[in-house]
Amino acid sequence: MKAGTGRGGGARRRVLAALAAVALTGGAVAGAVVVASQAGAATTTLRSLAEAKGKYFGVGAEESLLTGNSSYANIAATQFDMITPGNEMKWASVEATQGTYTWGPADQMVAFATANNERVRGHNLVWNSQLPSWLPGSFTSAQLQALLQKHITDEVTHFKGEIYTWDVVNEPFNGDGSYVQDLWYNAFGGNNYIADALTWAHAADPNALLCLNDYNIEGVNTKSTAMYTLVKSLLAAGVPISCVGLESHFVLGSVPSDMQTNIARFAALGVHVQITEVDDRILLPATTANLAQQATDYGNIVTACLGVTLCDGVTVWGIDDGNTWVTSTFPGYGAPLMWDANYVTKPAYNAVVTALGGTVSSTSASASASASATGGGSSGCTVAYVPNQWTGGFTANVTVKNTGSAAWSAWTVTFAFPGDQKITNAWNATTTQSGAAVSAVNMSYNGSVAAGASTNFGFQGTWTSSDASPTSFKVNGTTCT
Ligand code: XIL
């Protein structure tokens, strides 16, 4: 099956609108961060490393953060090449009032993805959770069957040609391998709702891959074997199933050692496997040892997927520890993602870069090494400058660590560009540039940096003859190491 090729009229209109917006504004689509072609990129990104291995690297994102949080949007635009709307395509989001569709937020995410040369996973069509309030408890079985067919047909048709893979049915199994006896199971008198849903989705967009998606099916166990048996029987019956999604919401240290074996047994059936919602929650507080274990876990997940050709890629369920469903869903747990709440990369990020065959940038490695080696000096700092460049343009993320013993209540970072860069916009700092000299001052919300803590800002700009990175930085007048 060839995925994601066709384009419906609606899809074409939205893409053209996005491209027109790029042309008019020189880069920004409705506030979205746009990154031009990755060709010639000087720096490692998860997406470029994954693509070199024939995989994607995706993120489960939220439209409100893409538009309201520029640090988040910048990472979503540069590090990933697949986006899953975290909630925006769920039934409760698209049809809160019966008969009235609200496609706006999901459409905007598709436009963001398109503008940044990323693909989209559709999530999800059939689930017993996040249903509109008008739906459960109000209809007969026959009515529910008709409503489900209409929902699937209308939503898949709306996004026809824009979706690489749909999670058609979400979380159909209990832990013991039995079916969840939810409203769909009951209305259809059994698990045949799954075959019907796949058939309806395929009819509406024959080019999309179609997944069954569930959690705790990452290793070989009772639940994953129930999924395996179901997929096998659907294939035997000629039902258009083409993919299994392993959500991969892990508790620290619980990535099964047979994850690759499990992926391989699904692939041997001829279906794609996608790692769809990775996070790895830590019983707080996160210690150095916990973060090291988390790095091992993330590396193992990526390695398991890389080992199987039909494993298409890995999606993480969020960007930063400040914006994750884990904190509200699992009290006491947190810190499950690859960036901390200040958008500083964690050891897990470096482990994923390494697993993907990349080299961890020596600047950031030495930044953390020298930070941990620094004792009780009164003032001190390290800076990691991570550029991402293309012909004529660049972005740079700057992470500044306070390695001194006193907190900062405000900061000014100064440096000089060795090249002819011109900053056009910045996030998490106000920049002023005079010739090559740049000064970046904290915003109202990020001036405080405790001893040992880090902060992060960045900017986008243009260059003509050289985008060489600055090598010397000062914070509040003190030269950083
Ligand atoms: C979560 C979202 O991240 C939250 O924002 C929302 O409140 C609840 O749902 N399995 C899934 C995802 O398939 O849709 C869930 O997403 C997380 C668990």
Would you say residue 368 has pLDDT above 50? no
Around Cβ 85, how many Cβ atoms within 10 Å? Answer: 25
Give me the DSSP letters along 439-465.
EEE--TTS--B-TT-EEEEEEEEE-SS
**Mean pLDDT of all residues belonging to the chain:** 87
Q: What is the tens place of the pLDDT at every residue in 416-426?
A: 999 999 988 88
Q: Specify the ligand 1 atom closest to the Cα of 249.
A: 18
43 vs 474, residue with greater confidence: 474
Range with the poorest average pLDDT among 288-292, 341-345, 404-408: 404-408
Rounded Cα gap, residues 73 and 231, in angstroms: 36
Q: How confident is the model at residue 17 (pLDDT cuts 50, 70, 90)?
A: very low
Q: Whose CA is nearest to atom 16 of ligand 1?
A: 86
Please choose from 121, 276, 317 the residue to mutate so as to test ligand 1's pocket, defined by most ligand atoms within 8 A of CB: 317
**DSSP, res 420:** -
Rounded Cα gap, residues 35 and 395, in angstroms: 8
Instruction: Map residue 269 onto helix, strand or coil.
Output: coil
Q: Whose CA is nearest to atom 4 of ligand 1?
A: 325
Instruction: Map residue 67 onto helix, strand or coil.
Output: helix
HSE-up of residue 225 (Cα within 13 Å, Cβ side): 5
Question: Do residues 204 and 160 make contact, with C-beta atoms less than 8 angstroms apart?
Answer: yes
Q: Specify the ligand 1 atom closest to the Cα of 276.
A: 13
Q: Specify the ligand 1 atom closest to the Cα of 167.
A: 13
**276 CA → ligand 1 middle, Å:** 11
Contacts of 161 (CB under 8 A, 6+ apart): 4, 5, 6, 7, 8, 11, 12, 205, 207
Please tell me the predicted confidence (pLDDT) of residue 25. 30
Instruction: Map residue 421 onto helix, strand or coil.
Output: coil
33 vs 375, residue with greater confidence: 33
**321 CA → ligand 1 middle, Å:** 15
Q: What is the tens place of the pLDDT at every residue in 385-402?
A: 888 887 888 888 898 988
Helices 104-115 and 70-78: crossing angle in degrees, nearest 10, is: 50
Rounded Cα gap, residues 263 and 303, in angstroms: 11
Q: Would strands 430-434 and 437-441 be described as parallel, antiparallel, or unpaired? A: antiparallel
How many angstroms separate the first and last alpha carbons of the chain? 53
With CA atoms as reference, report the closest residue to 276 among 56, 104, 73, 29.
Answer: 56
Q: Whose CA is nearest to atom 5 of ligand 1?
A: 325
Q: How confident is the model at residue 481 (pLDDT cuts 50, 70, 90)?
A: confident
Would you say residue 344 has pLDDT above 90? yes
**87 CA → ligand 1 middle, Å:** 7
State the catalytic residue, choosing from 63, 171, 218, 247: 171
Instruction: Map residue 53 onto helix, strand or coil.
Output: coil
- Over residues 142-158, the mean pLDDT reads 98
**274 CA → ligand 1 middle, Å:** 17
**426 CA → ligand 1 middle, Å:** 31
Contacts of 389 (CB under 8 A, 6+ apart): 40, 41, 42, 43, 395, 463, 467
Read off the tokens for 110: 């598709």
Rounded Cα gap, residues 83 and 112, in angstroms: 9
Please tell me the predicted confidence (pLDDT) of residue 362. 52
Question: Do residues 383 and 364 make contact, with C-beta atoms less than 8 angstroms apart?
Answer: no
Give the binding-site residues of ligand 1, using a 6 Å CB cut-off. Answer: 86-87, 170, 247, 277, 325
104 vs 455, residue with greater confidence: 104
Would you say residue 154 has pLDDT above 80? yes
HSE-up of residue 210 (Cα within 13 Å, Cβ side): 28
Phi and psi torsions of 33, nearest 5°:
-80, 135
**DSSP, res 323:** S
Instruction: Map residue 50 onto helix, strand or coil.
Output: helix
**329 CA → ligand 1 middle, Å:** 9
Q: What is the tens place of the pLDDT at every residue in 246-302?
A: 999 999 999 999 999 999 999 999 999 999 999 999 999 999 999 999 999 999 999
Q: Whose CA is nearest to atom 13 of ligand 1?
A: 170
Read off the tokens for 165: 């893979």
Please tell me the predicted confidence (pLDDT) of residue 439. 84
Q: Specify the ligand 1 atom closest to the Cα of 171.
A: 13
Give me the DSSP letters along 111-156.
HHHHHTT-EEEEEEEE-SSS--TTSTTSS-HHHHHHHHHHHHHHHH
Range with the poorest average pLDDT among 147-156, 229-238, 405-414: 405-414
**247 CA → ligand 1 middle, Å:** 10
Clarify whether 63 is annotated catalytic: no
Please tell me the predicted confidence (pLDDT) of residue 445. 63
Clarify whether 88 is annotated catalytic: no
Rounded Cα gap, residues 88 and 432, in angstroms: 37
Q: How confident is the model at residue 432 (pLDDT cuts 50, 70, 90)?
A: confident
Q: In the beta sheet, which residues pair with residue 431?
A: 440
Q: Please say whether the dihedral angle defined by the alpha carbons of residues 461, 465, 468 and 471, taken in this order, is positive or negative.
A: negative
Q: Whose CA is nearest to atom 15 of ligand 1?
A: 86
Range with the poorest average pLDDT among 142-146, 248-252, 402-406: 402-406
Please choose from 121, 173, 244, 277 the residue to mutate so as to test ligand 1's pocket, defined by most ligand atoms within 8 A of CB: 277
Read off the tokens for 449: 């940096």
Q: Whose CA is nearest to atom 12 of ligand 1?
A: 86
Amino acid at 167: D
Question: Do residues 113 and 60 make contact, with C-beta atoms less than 8 angstroms apart?
Answer: no
Q: Specify the ligand 1 atom closest to the Cα of 170.
A: 13
Would you say residue 76 has pLDDT above 90? yes
Instruction: Map residue 478 onto helix, strand or coil.
Output: strand
With CA atoms as reference, report the closest residue to 459 among 427, 422, 419.
Answer: 427
**DSSP, res 330:** S
Contacts of 267 (CB under 8 A, 6+ apart): 273, 308, 309, 310, 311
Read off the tokens for 471: 């090598």
Please choose from 87, 167, 215, 326 the residue to mutate so as to test ligand 1's pocket, defined by most ligand atoms within 8 A of CB: 87
Please tell me the predicted confidence (pLDDT) of residue 1. 38
Phi and psi torsions of 210, nearest 5°:
-120, 120
196 vs 32, residue with greater confidence: 196
Q: Which domains does the chain have, with CATH numbers?
A: 9-374 (3.20.20.80), 381-479 (2.60.40.290)
With CA atoms as reference, report the closest residue to 210 among 125, 291, 139.
Answer: 125
**DSSP, res 417:** -
Question: Do residues 73 and 116 make contact, with C-beta atoms less than 8 angstroms apart?
Answer: no
**246 CA → ligand 1 middle, Å:** 14
Residues in the chain: 481
Q: Exposed, middle or buried, 435 (CB in 10 Å: 0-12/13-18/19+)?
A: exposed
363 vs 466, residue with greater confidence: 466
Q: What is the tens place of the pLDDT at every residue in 98-134?
A: 999 999 999 999 999 999 999 999 999 999 999 999 9
**93 CA → ligand 1 middle, Å:** 12
